[in-house]
């Protein structure tokens, strides 16, 4: 390192294999996507690797392609909060972060569940707060109709604000539990929450004493200016998509600059891009494995389906090893894919761009799709991968990464066996957890201020 | 002795069901938010062969009765979310039914259904759901979606107040809908939906997944579940009921109804009312409804010391403990005798509410269970692999499963 600033410690999260084509289910090592044994293995392996936290996405509705349930990727997952609570019982140190929608939940209930998770895990709960706007997901919920795009972050912000009020409403010393005097709870230690805003009306007492962290660690994944503003004001971790070195530096710079502007310390918000990896004993072997795995991640059917999401018509007659279709997409108001994070707003323009890109590179359909959907962030020997990760962190392209494996549940075993020791040897990654550390502490975040009954009274 | 198998459930709540139980010498009031406290209670129950535990909950801070909310500091206040706590316990204690209380009134049926389903996966087939309705005005204010007036239980019980009767009917109707949604979602994946067929690139056979298309007064749910079908398929649904409307909910949708007789005559009366409910509503659950009784239990070595212990708790509380269920403060032998009378009357199980925790749980597991075991009424499959099996329920059929021919039939027709 040529820089004179202090060496940064790397933070790592373990992403449970998702319901997209990154997860190779045809691999013989692939196990059940729902059995608890899979989750236990995944969590305990990540804890063996001293990861800061494990991360779960959320399922609110099964994905669909052209009106049919998408059947080419892993389908089905547990209820996020329930499985995290179960994992709290079989792990000791690792953080437990769940993705939970601010659209299809109510703050009183969700704040209580997150506080419960923090009690159950002794201070290891985290919340990736997301917004959902479409009626597709709404069809499974009371709310039904979707939220205006413009209201997404105002709802998320108000949701977070009400939750914070609930988490802060009991004083640290509210529970007395004095058998002799007969006082169980100091009633003056409980504040009444009385919130009335555009999205929520919440009046009442919270049902739990402060949890070890008081607030869960807040994770935010949106990339829009609104999303970045929300992160700047309220998040502890950003789960970003900018794993690429240059894009990572630009994003890091932008967000940390926003922190300066509001007077927050730069290290109070960690930026962790999602990253995949492929290891080999030699660089050449890693490249070869990467090529093989990308073809498993993009089966012929997956390649066609990927295109059909844009073309919105049956393309099963096309040869995936041949050129892209020369017909134009079918444009409807409905569009092709439902329940995905990214939707294509102008299919004809997308199709044209893809055709040009493929023809310039001499790519087949499958090769084009691989370039989008099966690109691996870090490919190399364990030493190479460790050094690249460290370089990204030390040179401020990130504070660490959310590592995504490609098989369930063993995809990160190899990372823990081979890359983690290299990071530890370089002195940039913990060799053990601090005893009884909360997730805030593990991530090196400032803790949430405590509140005494006296402070509550004067608030 | 009758050969009717008799089942035991333990209702866990705070430091026990007596409001002053937390002040008992054995109580651990400082541990009520510590998961290890709960795990140790369930381990105690499991090792004695108890069939299931329920975990109490409500959609807000505890308060007495249905009147206006009252914040008091001399009783246990605060609770962990029962569904999450149940998952933490289930990951650590195998082979006992775990039945959290989850409210249907303000919650999302989709989240509740997938949460219980996840509990069934985590416990490998030992999940249940104690369905609860929230009729409390202050709990409605936690969500602010609708207003619920403060109920007057005395007037509501007479059935003469039309507004209150209508409200109760509507809350329980919503609960019936929430159970219906859950039961459909639980069946929305057939058992063999995951096919991992490499040649066609398909992970699932989507024809074996089903939309549930529920459209009700309070919510619509499209489905399918995000969770694949769980080991039991249909986790066990428990409804505690005291009146006609809840009896009708239980008859329509529950697997087990908990009733609260205070005497033999009262039991007869309740069974009569349940019979009326069976005529009034259509049963939508799979098997005949099981009837369990409920009792608060305080056990001491002699009848006199048990009565004195209860009186001492009442004294600490400042007033006698009133419960919806009968309070049995007695010796293990006398409590067992009451349970056997119920068993003789055709009751198939009891949910015992320990007055003091962990003390009365230990009296149940170490004194009451041995007395009952000697009579033979607890004979049941101890090698059961699911709660349904332990309780003697048949494997749950899937309402959506296509009537595809058995493999044997295919072979036969192919060789013809």
d(CA B24, CA B38): 18
User: What does the pLDDT look like over A288-322, one tens digit per residue?
Assistant: 999 999 999 999 999 999 999 899 889 999 999 99
pLDDT of A456 > 80? The answer is no
pLDDT of B267 > 90? The answer is yes
User: What does the pLDDT look like over A25-60, one tens digit per residue?
Assistant: 998 889 999 999 999 999 999 999 999 999 999 989
Query: With contact defined as beta carbons under 8 Å apart, do A402 and A272 qualify?
Result: yes
Q: Where are the domains of chain A?
A: 11-284+375-458, 299-373
Work out the average pLDDT over B174-179. Answer: 98
pLDDT of B414 > 60? The answer is no
Residue predicted with more confidence, A378 or A372: A378
Query: With contact defined as beta carbons under 8 Å apart, do A405 and A39 qualify?
Result: no
Handedness of CA A193, A198, A200, A203 (dihedral sign): positive
Determine which of A421-425, B136-140, B194-198 has the lowest per-residue pLDDT on average. Answer: B136-140
Assess if CATH 3.20.20.30 describes domain A11-284+375-458.
Answer: yes
Work out the average pLDDT over A3-23. Answer: 90
State the complex-level ipTM.
Answer: 0.95
d(CA B203, CA B210): 16
Q: Taking CB atoms and an 8 Å cutoff, what residues of chain A touch B190?
A: none
Measured in residues, chain A has a length of 459
Work out the average pLDDT over B152-171. Answer: 79
Partner-chain residue, chosen from B77, B142, B189, that has the shortest CB–CB distance to A204: B142
Count of pairs with CB atoms under 8 A, one residue in A, one in B? 222
Determine the pLDDT at residue A444.
Answer: 97
Chain A neighbours among B 76-105 (CB < 8 Å)? 76-81, 83-85, 87-92
pLDDT of A152 > 90? The answer is no
User: What does the pLDDT look like over B311-324, one tens digit per residue?
Assistant: 999 999 999 999 99
d(CA A273, CA A397): 9
Q: Do the Cβ atoms of A108 and B143 come within 8 Å?
A: yes
The percentage of residues in chain A with a pLDDT greater than 90, rounded to a whole number, is 82
d(CA A235, CA A130): 12
Indicate the angle between helix axes B109-122 and A80-88, nearest 10 degrees. Answer: 30
Q: Taking CB atoms and an 8 Å cutoff, what residues of chain B touch A179?
A: 22-25, 27, 29
pLDDT of A6 > 80? The answer is yes
Cα-based distances in Å from B390 to A335, B72, B121? 49, 41, 17
Q: Taking CB atoms and an 8 Å cutoff, what residues of chain B touch A209?
A: 33, 78
Partner-chain residue, chosen from B23, B110, B189, that has the shortest CB–CB distance to A182: B23
Query: With contact defined as beta carbons under 8 Å apart, do B364 and B10 qualify?
Result: yes
d(CA B21, CA B29): 9
Q: Do the Cβ atoms of A182 and B80 come within 8 Å?
A: no
Instruction: Count the Cβ atoms, other than its own, within 10 Å of residue A242.
Output: 21
Query: With contact defined as beta carbons under 8 Å apart, do A236 and A218 qualify?
Result: yes
Q: How confident is the model at residue B383 (pLDDT cuts 50, 70, 90)?
A: confident
Q: How confident is the model at residue B408 (pLDDT cuts 50, 70, 90)?
A: very low
Instruction: Give the best residue of A42, A58, A68, A76 to mutate against chain B (max B CB count within 10 A).
Output: A76
DSSP string, B254-273: -SEEEE--SSHHHHHHHHHH
Residue predicted with more confidence, B14 or B67: B14
d(CA A195, CA A163): 10
DSSP string, A373-418: HS--SEEE-HHHHHHHHHHHHHTTS-SEEEEE-SSTTTTTHHIIII
**B219 interface with A at CB cutoff 8 Å:** yes
Q: Taking CB atoms and an 8 Å cutoff, what residues of chain A touch B13?
A: none
pLDDT of B301 > 90? The answer is yes
Q: Which residues are registered as beta bridge partners of B291?
A: B257
Q: Do the Cβ atoms of B29 and A179 come within 8 Å?
A: yes
Q: Where are the domains of chain B?
A: 33-288+381-415
Partner-chain residue, chosen from A62, A75, A81, that has the shortest CB–CB distance to B115: A81
Work out the average pLDDT over A213-231. Answer: 91
- According to CATH, what is the number of the domain B33-288+381-415? 3.20.20.30
d(CA A69, CA A217): 34
pLDDT of B51 > 60? The answer is yes
């Amino acid at each position: 390192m040529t820089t004179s600033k202090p060496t940064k410690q790397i933070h790592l999260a373990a992403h449970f294999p998702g319901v997209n084509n990154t997860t190779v289910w045809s691999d013989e090592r692939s196990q059940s996507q729902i059995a608890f044994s899979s989750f236990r293995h995944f969590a305990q392996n990540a804890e063996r690797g001293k990861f800061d936290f494990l991360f779960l996405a959320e399922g609110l509705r099964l994905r669909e392609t052209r009106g049919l349930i998408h059947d080419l990727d892993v389908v089905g997952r547990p209820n996020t909060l329930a499985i995290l609570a179960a994992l709290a019982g079989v792990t000791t140190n690792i953080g437990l972060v769940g993705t939970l929608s601010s659209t299809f939940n109510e703050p009183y209930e969700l704040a209580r569940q997150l506080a419960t998770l923090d009690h159950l895990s002794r201070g290891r709960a985290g919340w990736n707060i997301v917004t959902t706007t479409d009626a597709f997901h709404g069809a499974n919920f009371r709310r039904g109709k979707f939220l205006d795009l413009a209201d997404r972050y105002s709802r998320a912000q108000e949701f977070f604000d009400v939750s914070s009020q609930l988490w802060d409403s009991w004083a640290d010393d509210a529970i007395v539990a004095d058998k002799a005097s007969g006082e169980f709870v100091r009633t003056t230690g409980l504040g009444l929450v009385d919130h009335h805003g555009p999205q929520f009306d919440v009046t009442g007492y919270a049902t739990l004493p402060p949890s070890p962290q008081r607030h869960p660690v807040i994770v935010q994944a949106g990339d829009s200016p609104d999303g970045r503003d929300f992160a700047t004001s309220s998040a502890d971790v950003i789960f970003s998509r900018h794993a690429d070195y240059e894009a990572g530096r630009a994003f890091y710079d932008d967000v940390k600059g926003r922190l300066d502007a509001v007077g927050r310390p730069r290290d109070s918000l960690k930026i962790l891009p999602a990253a995949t990896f492929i290891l080999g004993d030699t660089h050449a072997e890693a490249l070869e494995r990467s090529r093989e795995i990308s073809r498993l991640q993009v089966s012929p059917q997956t390649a066609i389906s990927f295109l059909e999401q844009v073309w919105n018509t049956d393309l099963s007659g096309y040869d995936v090893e041949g050129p892209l279709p020369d017909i134009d997409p079918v444009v409807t108001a409905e569009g092709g894919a439902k329940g995905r994070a990214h939707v294509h707003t102008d299919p004809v323009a997308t199709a044209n761009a893809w055709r040009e890109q493929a023809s310039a590179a001499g790519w087949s359909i499958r090769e084009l799709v691989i370039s989008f959907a099966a690109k691996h962030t870090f490919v190399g020997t364990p030493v190479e991968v460790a050094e690249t990760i460290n370089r990204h962190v030390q040179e401020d392209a990130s504070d660490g990464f959310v590592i995504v494996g490609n098989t369930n549940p063993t995809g990160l075993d190899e990372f823990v066996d081979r890359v983690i020791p290299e990071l530890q040897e370089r002195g940039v990654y913990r060799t053990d957890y601090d005893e009884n550390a909360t997730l805030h502490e593990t991530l090196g975040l400032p803790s949430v201020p405590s509140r005494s009954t006296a402070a509550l009274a004067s608030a | 002795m009758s050969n009717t198998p008799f089942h035991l459930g333990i209702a866990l709540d705070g430091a026990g069901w007596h409001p002053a139980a937390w002040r008992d010498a054995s109580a651990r009031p400082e541990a009520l938010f510590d998961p290890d406290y709960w795990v140790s209670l369930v381990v105690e129950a499991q090792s004695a062969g108890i069939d299931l535990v329920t975990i109490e909950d409500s959609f807000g801070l505890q308060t007495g009765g249905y009147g206006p909310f009252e914040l008091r500091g001399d009783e246990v206040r605060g609770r962990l979310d029962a569904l999450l706590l149940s998952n933490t316990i289930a990951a650590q204690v195998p082979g006992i039914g775990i039945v959290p209380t989850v409210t249907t009134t303000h919650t999302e049926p989709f989240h509740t259904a997938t949460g219980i389903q996840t509990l069934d996966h985590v416990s490998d087939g030992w999940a249940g759901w104690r369905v609860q309705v929230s009729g409390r005005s202050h709990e409605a204010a936690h969500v602010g979606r609708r207003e619920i007036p403060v109920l007057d239980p005395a007037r509501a019980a007479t059935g003469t107040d039309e507004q209150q009767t209508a409200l109760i009917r509507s809350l329980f109707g919503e609960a019936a809908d929430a159970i219906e949604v859950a039961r459909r979602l639980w069946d929305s994946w057939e058992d063999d939906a995951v096919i991992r067929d490499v040649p066609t690139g398909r992970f699932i056979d989507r024809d074996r997944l089903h939309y549930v298309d529920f459209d009700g007064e309070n919510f619509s749910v499209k489905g399918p579940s995000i969770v694949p079908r769980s080991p039991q398929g249909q986790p066990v649904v428990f409804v505690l009921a005291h009146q006609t409307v809840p009896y009708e909910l239980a008859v329509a949708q529950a697997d087990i109804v908990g009733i609260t007789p205070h005497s033999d005559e009262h039991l007869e009366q309740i069974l009569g009312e349940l019979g009326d409910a069976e005529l009034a509503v259509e049963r939508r659950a799979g098997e005949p409804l099981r009837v369990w009784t409920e009792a608060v239990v305080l056990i001491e070595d002699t009848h006199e010391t048990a009565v004195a212990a209860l009186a001492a708790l009442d004294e600490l509380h400042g007033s006698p403990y009133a419960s919806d269920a009968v309070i049995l403060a007695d010796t293990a032998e006398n409590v067992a005798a009451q349970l056997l009378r119920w068993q003789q009357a055709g009751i198939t199980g009891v949910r015992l509410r320990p007055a003091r925790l962990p003390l009365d749980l230990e009296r149940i597991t170490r004194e009451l269970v041995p007395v009952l075991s000697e009579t033979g009424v607890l004979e049941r499959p101890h090698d059961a692999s699911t709660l349904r099996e332990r309780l003697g329920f048949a494997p749950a059929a899937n309402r959506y499963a296509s009537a595809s021919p058995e493999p044997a039939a295919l072979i036969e027709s192919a060789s013809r």
